[in-house]
Structure 1
Amino acid sequence: MQPTSSPESQDSVDALLKQTWALIDEKKGIFWDLSDRIWETPEVNYTEFKSSKAHLELLKQQGFRVTEGVADLPTAMMGEAGAGGPIIAILGEYDALPGLSQQADVAEPLPLQDGANGHGCGHNMLGSSALLAATAVKDYLEASGLPGRVRYYGCPAEEGGSAKGFMVRAGLFDDVDVAICWHPGAFNGVMDANSLACNELNYHFSGRAAHAAATPHLGRSALDAVELMNVGINYLREHMPTSARIHYAITDSGGFSPNVVQAKATVRYLVRTRTLPELTELLKRVDKVAQGAALMTETTMKSNVLSGDANLIGNRVLEELMQSHLERLGGPGFDDADRAYAARFQQTMSQEEISSAFQRMGQEYKPGELLCDYVVPLDRPESSMIGSTDVGSVSWVVPTVQCRSATYTIGTPGHSWQLVAQGKSSLAHKGLTHSAKLMASTALNLFTRPDLIIAAKAEHDRRLAGTPFVNPIPDDVQPPFPGSH
Structure 2
Amino acid sequence: MWNESFIRMNEISRRTLLAGSLASTAVWMMPPSFAAAEDGDVSESAKAAHDAVEAVREAILRISREVWKTPELSLHEEKSSEIHLRELREAGFKIVSTGTSGIPTAFVAEWTQGESGPKIGFLPEYDALPDLGNAAESRQTPGPTGVEVGHGCGHNMLGAGCTGAAFALKKMMIDKNVPGTIRVYGCAAEETEGAKVYMARDGLFSDLDACLAWHPGPMNATGLLRSAAANILRIRYIGQTAHAGVDPWEGRSALKGAELFGIGIQFMREHMKPTTRLHYIYTDSGTAANVIPASAEIIMVIRDQDREDVNSVTEWVKDVASGAATSTQTHVEIDHFFGMYDLLPNETLVNQIHAHMTKLPMEWTEEEQGFAKAFQREMQLPEAGLMPVIMPLLPEITTGGSTDVGDVSFNTPTGLFAIATMPIGVGLHTWPVTACGGMSIGDKGSIYSAIIMAGVGYDLMTSAELRAAARADFDRRKAGRKYVSPLAETRLRPDGIPQHLLMRDGSQELGVEFVEEAVDSKTPMP
1:93-112 aligned at under 5 Å gives the runs 93-108=125-140, 110=142
**Aligned partner (choices 319, 323, 340) of residue 292 of structure 1:** 323
Matched, 1:340 2:355: no
Q: Is this contact kept in 2: 1:45–1:481, CA < 8 A?
A: no
Q: Is this contact kept in 2: 1:194–1:386, CA < 8 A?
A: no
Distance 2:150 2:250 in 1: 47
- Residues 111 and 147 (structure 1 numbering): CA distance in 2 closer, same or farther, change over 3 Å? closer
Q: Which moved more, 1:307-316 or 1:98-107?
A: 98-107
1:89-168 aligned at under 5 Å gives the runs 89-108=121-140, 110=142, 116-168=148-200
- Equivalent residue for 1:369? 384
- Equivalent residue for 1:364? none
Q: Which runs of 5+ in 1 are unaligned?
A: 1-6, 352-366
Q: Which moved more, 1:106-115 or 1:94-103?
A: 106-115
**In the TM superposition, what whole-angstrom CA distance separates every residue of 1:376-407 from its partner, at most 9, and x where no partner exists?**
0114474x653100000100110100010111
Superposition deviation, residue 350 in structure 1: 3.5
- Equivalent residue for 2:495? 481
Matched residue count: 459
Q: What is the SS of the residue equivalent to 2:74?
A: coil
Q: What is the SS of the residue equivalent to 2:326?
A: helix
Superposition deviation, residue 20 in structure 1: 1.5
**Aligned partner (choices 306, 316, 328) of residue 337 of structure 2:** 306
Superposition deviation, residue 468 in structure 1: 2.4
Q: Name the Cα RMSD after superposition.
A: 1.9
Report the identity percentage. Answer: 36
Distance 1:96 1:379 in 2: 28
Superposition deviation, residue 307 in structure 1: 1.7
Q: What is the SS of the residue equivalent to 1:55?
A: helix
Q: What is the SS of the residue equivalent to 2:185?
A: strand
- Equivalent residue for 2:104? 74
The letter for the 2-side match of 1:201 is L
Matched, 1:391 2:405: yes
The letter for the 1-side match of 2:105 is T
Distance 2:330 2:242 in 1: 14
Q: Is this contact kept in 1: 2:108–2:185, CA < 8 A?
A: yes
- Residues 114 and 334 (structure 1 numbering): CA distance in 2 closer, same or farther, change over 3 Å? closer
Superposition deviation, residue 239 in structure 1: 1.2
1:6-45 aligned at under 5 Å gives the runs 10=41, 13-45=42-74
Q: Which moved more, 1:311-320 or 1:104-113?
A: 104-113
The letter for the 2-side match of 1:375 is I
Matched, 1:209 2:238: no
The alignment's TM-score, normalised by the length of structure 2, stands at 0.84
- Residues 249 and 460 (structure 1 numbering): CA distance in 2 closer, same or farther, change over 3 Å? same
**In the TM superposition, what whole-angstrom CA distance separates every residue of 1:265-302 from its partner, at most 9, and x where no partner exists?**
11111111111100010001110110111011101111
Distance 2:88 2:480 in 1: 39
Q: Which runs of 5+ in 2 are unaligned?
A: 1-37, 497-517
The alignment's TM-score, normalised by the length of structure 1, stands at 0.91
Matched, 1:323 2:316: no
The letter for the 2-side match of 1:219 is G
Superposition deviation, residue 86 in structure 1: 0.7
Superposition deviation, residue 115 in structure 1: 5.9
The letter for the 2-side match of 1:344 is A
Distance 1:334 1:95 in 2: 27
Superposition deviation, residue 469 in structure 1: 2.2
Superposition deviation, residue 325 in structure 1: 1.3
Q: What is the SS of the residue equivalent to 1:422?
A: helix
1:395-414 aligned at under 5 Å gives the runs 395-414=409-428
